[in-house]
Amino acid sequence: MKLFYVFIKKEFYHIIRDRRSLFILLGMPIIQILLFGFAITNEINNVNIAILDHSKDVTTQNIINKISASSYFSIKQFIERESDIEKVFKKGKIKAVLIFENDFSKKLLKNSHATVQIIADATDPNTANTISNYINAIIQSYTQELNKDVVVSYQIIPISHMVYNPELKSVFMFVPGVMTVILMLVSAMMTSISITREKELGTMEIILVSPLKPIQVIAGKVIPYVFISIINATIIILLSLFIFKMPVQGSLILLGFENVIFIVTALAFGILISTISATQQTAMMISLMGLMLPVIILSGFIFPIESMPLPLQIISNIIPAKWFIIIIKGIMLKGVGITYLWKETLVLIAMSLFFIGLSTKKYKIRLE
């Protein structure tokens, strides 16, 4: 036990002396979460649109007023000719054009329908989609107002209610994602680098010749990073609580516990990487390529797993991050407890054990 203490103390010296890495280690989560929280957003706000109104009557004016009253759109331009549509899009400021047909009010009263065309700039397909949906919704609600006094037979009115995130804040999606990426990166990359560094320096050889047992060496390498990762997780949770007002509906203790499990999984993965790479550079490349991309793409952090092709859906199951994201979303947003999350938790524990087992085996082989 005393040998072990000496080892951990040395590890802390390494971490504290390397100011630059320490700064990155602790600064990265703050910067990332602020960036993701503020800069990257799927919500639309003050989108510039143009109007081509062929009828210019009361109804079209009412609709235009409703649209400009919403905070989502700002009407930048009224155009007169169809040929101008192309021009405004090419300038790039205008993201959508709304076209009202001739005699809008008249047709509406006489034929009980009139058309309005929405042309959206789909160079950014997601935004185009959102814009068109929002305009649709505004027009729908106006139509309903018109029909207020009329009895319409057979009308189906869907009332949607967004649970767990009523305001559809994207930061609620990014916090679990960023937390996962950072914990994975810090834990796996930093441990693998710190172990391979000793190999490069030749100190690993000296340690192997000493009475320290392999398990003590590995644990000694890992424990300091467990601490740092816990600090990081805490920082991220505090930031999301106080800056982004993201709620923690479930138990904080459970959240902490799950974080520790995930950290251990990531660390175990880092050890595995260090057993297969000889240099710090290899370790870093493997961690970045092998972890960053799958974690971002296949974990359900940004892209929904359900809409991926089946092979990718199956592969996503072996990404620890996928299970962790389900867990944190469950705890933070839905407020569910371990009774709902035991399966995901077990998957993470099983993965850690697998990685640890595999790397202990690999570590032994390297000594031969």
Q: Between 2 and 81, whose beta carbon lies closer to another protein? A: 2
CA dihedral 69, 72, 76, 81 (to 10 degrees): -90
> At closest approach, how far in Å is the CB of 290 from another protein?
28
Q: How far is the CB of 172 from another protein (least distance, A)?
A: 41
Shortest approach of another protein to residue 281 CB, angstroms? 18
Nearer to another protein, 174 or 225 (CB): 225
Q: Which of 10, 56, 343, 361 binds another protein (CB under 8 A)?
A: 10
Binding to another protein by residue 86, rule CB under 8 A?
Answer: no
3-state secondary structure the chain: CHHHHHHHHHHHHHHHHCHHHHHHHHHHHHHHHHHHHHHCCCCCCCEEEEEEECCCCHHHHHHHHHHHHCCCEEEEEEECCCHHHHHHHHHCCCCEEEEECCCHHHHHHHHCCCCEEEEECCCCHHHHHHHHHHHHHHHHHHHHHHCCCCCCCCCCCCCCCCCCCCCCCCHHHHHHHHHHHHHHHHHHHHHHHHHHHHHHHCHHHHHHHCCCCHHHHHHHHHHHHHHHHHHHHHHHHHHHHHCCCCCCCCCHHHHHHHHHHHHHHHHHHHHHHHHHCCCHHHHHHHHHHHHHHHHHHHCCCCCCHHHCCHHHHHHHCCCHHHHHHHHHHHHHHHCCCHHHHHHHHHHHHHHHHHHHHHHHHHHHHHHC
Of positions 17, 20, 90, 91, contacts another protein by CB under 8 A: 17
Please identify, among the stretches 7-15, 28-36, 127-135, 165-173, the one whose residues bind another protein according to the rule CB under 8 A.
7-15
* Residue 210 sits in the site that holds another protein (CB under 8 A): yes
Q: Is 90 in the site for another protein (CB under 8 A)?
A: no
CB of 3 to another protein, least distance (A): 5
Q: Which of 158, 166, 211, 311 binds another protein (CB under 8 A)?
A: 211
**Which residue among 129, 144, 203, 313 contacts another protein (CB under 8 A)?**
203
Residue among 132 and 360 whose Cβ is closer to another protein:
360
Which residues neighbour 181 within 8 Å (Cβ) at sequence distance 6 or greater? Answer: 32, 292, 295, 296, 301, 321
Which x/- pattern, by CB under 8 A, does the window 163-202 give for another protein? --------------------------------------xx
- Under rule CB under 8 A, residue 18 binds another protein: yes
Q: From the CB of 21, what's the least distance to another protein, in Å?
A: 11
Beta carbon of residue 355, minimum distance to another protein (angstroms, whole number) = 24
Is 236 within 8 Å of 177 (Cβ atoms)?
no
Report the residue from 137, 205, 288, 349 that binds another protein according to the rule CB under 8 A.
205
Look at residues 132, 123, 124, 55 and name the one whose alpha carbon lies nearest to residue 97. 132
> Least distance (Å) from another protein to the CB of residue 211?
5
Task: Let me know: does 82 contact 117? Beta carbons within 8 Å.
Answer: no
Q: Least CB distance from residue 215 to another protein, whole Å?
A: 13
Among 208, 241, 248, 284, binds another protein (CB under 8 A): 208
Residue 20 touching another protein (CB under 8 A): no
Shortest distance, CB of residue 272 to another protein, whole angstroms?
21
Using CB under 8 A, pick the residue from 13, 38, 164, 227 that binds another protein. 13
Using CB under 8 A, list all residues that contact another protein: 2-3, 5-7, 9-10, 13-14, 17-18, 201-203, 205-212, 367-368
